[in-house]
A and B are shown apart, each in its own frame.
Chain A
Amino acid sequence: MRSAKMLTAVGLLAGTSLLLAGCASSTPAAEPKNVELRMTVWTANEDQLALFDDIADQYIAEHPEVKSITFEPLPFEDYTTTLTTQVAGGKAPDLAWILENAALDFVDSGALAPIQDTLEKTDGYEFDDLSDAATALWQKDGELIAYPFSTSPFVMFANDDLLRAAGQPTAAELQAAGKWNWEGISEVGAAVNAATGKAGFVVRDFDYTSWDNLASVWMGWGAEPWGDDGASCEFDSPEMVDAFTFLHEAAFDKKSMPGPGTTADFFAGESAFTVTQISRASVLPDSGFAWDLLPLPEGPEGEYSMVGQAGIGVMATGKNAPVAADFLAFFSNPENSKKLAQWFPPARTSQLSTETLAAANPVLSADQIENVVIPGIETGVVRPGHTDSAKVGQTVRAALDAIWTPDADIEESLIGVCDAVEPLLGK
């Protein structure tokens, strides 16, 4: 009897709920109130966060329905994993920075809400000013899914003091002598290591694990990890074998590059050269040594450039997605894009000028911006990415470990990489 009463009550409650839900859906959606937005980022730089807060405060002042906007820094090393775990736990942020190597996963999966319509309809946004090259990675079926807020070229920084101390030519002298190529860098780097015990050149953030950073080297040999369709492995191509042979010799024979298990921080004065993104220039004034900035050295295939990108996406599962998209339009409008340009080279064609970038980057000279930064952005190829990026990345990392021993058979090892990763590429 008691059960029957309980069932009746539950049934009535459910019926009423459905009725109410039906009524609710037939009425216009209520205006959002007290919206609290959260954006995950991987920077903990206080100046950058202060600028984000400043932009957010301006937006809140104009939008009383938005109560707060929080920027949540997550550790860079585990950023995508942490973000995905938040999504899995039902705690997805409203907006998120997306790394370019995970771009295809986020853009193709439907995890991000399309933003193009909102950006185009925002007054004064100048959507057509966004460069095609910068937005290519962040589109699905011709529609922009995430905003590429940073298009940062990879460049070569040089420690001229260390080069002089080792009796070697400075970076500018090397370039003037026509030796600004990988062989020349490796030769000078080996001499620096022999004379001072410090490292020659360092591919920053590679550390024998984050292998995709090596694209900044192998592109000079015309190599690529997989074909244009992403389905065929190209690690065993002759170009890639040559590029890895160069790297292996640099690490184990010439000692121009720190070997596995050895670290050297260029910004602490521990290496003569480092390949990294231009955004790192901001820490150089505190480094205490004379430095220079040049484009990536030439490889056997000649000049080339590579860019790293980062996007901002609106999470589709967020209950405030329309408001989040509107905030993104404000965050990336021409005025704020110019402010952000001091750390994040913009995707706006009109702002890729020496004047704009020089004003935003006091650390860099006009020459460096004109000859290194702007050409790097305009011609740079995006670092390689693939769907199922984490699994592909881990599989390649594990297989590439065979190369990083003194007696490795480079060609066989790279065939092993293809054997391991090919089943994943075809999916």
Chain B
Amino acid sequence: MTTLIKSPVGRASARPGGRRPLTHLQRDALAGYLFVAPQVLGIAAFVLVPLALVIYFSFHEWNVLANTFTFVGVANFERFLADPQVAPVMRTTGIFSVALVFFNISLALLLAVMLNRSLAGITFFRTLFFSPVVVSLVAWTIVWGFLFQDNGGVNGALELVGVDGPNWLREGPTAMVAVVIVQVFKNVGLNMVLFLAALQGVPQELQEAARMDGAGPRTIFTRIVMPLISPTILLTFIITIVGSLQVFAQIAVLTQGGPGISTTVLVYYLFQQAFLFGEFGYGSVLSLVLFLIVLVLTVVQWQLRKKWVFYEN
């Protein structure tokens, strides 16, 4: 039997001068819009509007002191292509990112595997390795700056074992090593916790079954554990790569991009151009380049996930 239900909207519309009440669907939609509104407003204010302004500024030359703002077409983009500093800066950025991702992910995974067991006092070690994550980045970097001085703690420790340490922050190759070390130890705890959570989600019965089938620890790790935690590996890769491309405070505090320009990564170069030299137009072009690099790397990794992330196929 079909029952015809009279629409409440029809009744309401008949009220003289009354406001039409919202339908159930409209109320749901309104609630939804209100829930996402803060996020949408935040993204608009802090991402979309600045991005639009950066694109706008990149076509202009803005002399802050002279208070002039001139349209220069694609001159800033042409300058980027002809800038002799861009190639070494990109190379430095690449070296830093690759080194950071490799050592951070490897060390985090190693620590997570070592700490993924039920032993007395294991919580202490987990807390110990995670603690740098919650320390102020600048304070952390300043302390490491003292340790890496020529007569600092690192060389003092090396001297105890008969090694004459280098002048870490004053020689190109070692300055980069020092910056990578500072950043790896700062954030390895975060990736370690993510891996630890993923490892604890790997079903024990699968590992036991593999063991009964004659698989050794290495095979179990590479064939059972790694595929199961591959979504977390993907996540940490994306987070770490994006983070490595945004490194700034460590460079500013430890080396100011030196010696020479051996530790001048793209973000620091951008900062120099825009804020030290007042070249806001050219700085905007560099921002766009950085944005595109992060976007492309993220999209590529996201697309590649189907090939190497276990759950995606």
Given contacts A81-B275, A110-B66, A390-B278, 4 further A-B contacts (CB under 8 A): A81-B276, A88-B278, A261-B167, A401-B259
Give the shortest distance, in Å, between A281 (CB) and chain B (any CB). Answer: 28
State the CA gap A45–B73 with chains docked (Å): 47
A-contacting residues, B270-291, CB 8 Å: 272, 275-278, 280
For residue A259, which residues in chain B have a CB less than 8 angstroms away from its CB? 150, 167
State the CA gap A85–B277 with chains docked (Å): 11
Known: A81-B275, A261-B150, A405-B171. A398 touches B65 (CB 8 A): no
Asked whether any CB of chain A lies closer than 8 Å to the CB of B63, the reply is yes
B-contacting residues, A244-282, CB 8 Å: 259-263
Asked whether any CB of chain A lies closer than 8 Å to the CB of B151, the reply is yes
B276 contact from A87, A106, A394, A401, Cβ within 8 A: A394
The residues of A with any CB-CB pair to B shorter than 8 Å are 81, 84-85, 87-88, 105-106, 109-111, 208-209, 259-263, 316-317, 388, 390-391, 394, 397-399, 401-402, 404-405
Size range of the chain B interface in the assembly? 20 to 34
Interface centre among B62, B170, B256 (most CB of A within 10 A): B170
A-contacting residues, B204-231, CB 8 Å: none
Give the shortest distance, in Å, between A110 (CB) and chain B (any CB). Answer: 5
Interface centre among B65, B152, B256, B275 (most CB of A within 10 A): B65
Give the shortest distance, in Å, between A82 (CB) and chain B (any CB). Answer: 9
A398 contact from B169, B260, B277, B278, Cβ within 8 A: B260
- Is there contact, CB below 8 Å, between B65 and A261? no
Output the nearest chain A residue to B167 by Cβ-Cβ distance. Answer: A261
Output the nearest chain B residue to A82 by Cβ-Cβ distance. Answer: B275
Asked whether any CB of chain A lies closer than 8 Å to the CB of B129, the reply is no
Known: A110-B66, A401-B259, A404-B170. A85 touches B275 (CB 8 A): yes
State the CA gap A218–B272 with chains docked (Å): 28
Output the nearest chain A residue to B152 by Cβ-Cβ distance. Answer: A261
For B157-173 the 0/1 string (1 means CB < 8 A from A) is 00000000001111100
Known: A259-B150, A263-B149. A88 touches B167 (CB 8 A): no
Known: A84-B64, A110-B67. A260 touches B170 (CB 8 A): yes
Task: List 4 tightest A-B contacts by C-beta distance, closest first.
Answer: A261-B150, A109-B65, A401-B259, A111-B65
For residue B65, which residues in chain A have a CB less than 8 angstroms away from its CB? 84, 87, 105-106, 109-111
Output the nearest chain A residue to B261 by Cβ-Cβ distance. Answer: A398
- Is there contact, CB below 8 Å, between B278 and A111? no
For residue B156, which residues in chain A have a CB less than 8 angstroms away from its CB? none
- Is there contact, CB below 8 Å, between A261 and B280? no
Output the nearest chain A residue to B280 by Cβ-Cβ distance. Answer: A88
A260 contact from B67, B150, B152, B275, Cβ within 8 A: B150
A–B complex contacts, Cβ < 8 Å, 27 sampled: A81-B275, A81-B276, A84-B65, A84-B278, A85-B275, A88-B62, A110-B65, A110-B66, A110-B67, A111-B65, A111-B66, A259-B167, A261-B149, A261-B168, A261-B170, A262-B149, A263-B149, A316-B67, A317-B67, A390-B276, A390-B278, A391-B276, A394-B277, A399-B260, A401-B258, A404-B170, A405-B171
Output the nearest chain A residue to B252 by Cβ-Cβ distance. Answer: A78
Give the shortest distance, in Å, between A227 (CB) and chain B (any CB). Answer: 23
Output the nearest chain A residue to B277 by Cβ-Cβ distance. Answer: A391
For residue A84, which residues in chain B have a CB less than 8 angstroms away from its CB? 64-65, 275, 278
For residue A87, which residues in chain B have a CB less than 8 angstroms away from its CB? 64-65
Output the nearest chain B residue to A416 by Cβ-Cβ distance. Answer: B260
A262 contact from B62, B64, B150, B277, Cβ within 8 A: B150
Give the shortest distance, in Å, between B302 (CB) and chain A (any CB). Answer: 35
Output the nearest chain A residue to B64 by Cβ-Cβ distance. Answer: A88
Give the shortest distance, in Å, between B271 (CB) and chain A (any CB). Answer: 9
For B169-181 the 0/1 string (1 means CB < 8 A from A) is 1110000000000
State the CA gap A402–B278 with chains docked (Å): 26
Give the shortest distance, in Å, between A285 (CB) and chain B (any CB). Answer: 28
State the CA gap A261–B276 with chains docked (Å): 23
Output the nearest chain B residue to A405 by Cβ-Cβ distance. Answer: B171
State the CA gap A78–B237 with chains docked (Å): 34
Output the nearest chain B residue to A209 by Cβ-Cβ distance. Answer: B256
For residue B168, which residues in chain A have a CB less than 8 angstroms away from its CB? 261
Give the shortest distance, in Å, between B275 (CB) and chain A (any CB). Answer: 6
Asked whether any CB of chain A lies closer than 8 Å to the CB of B189, the reply is no
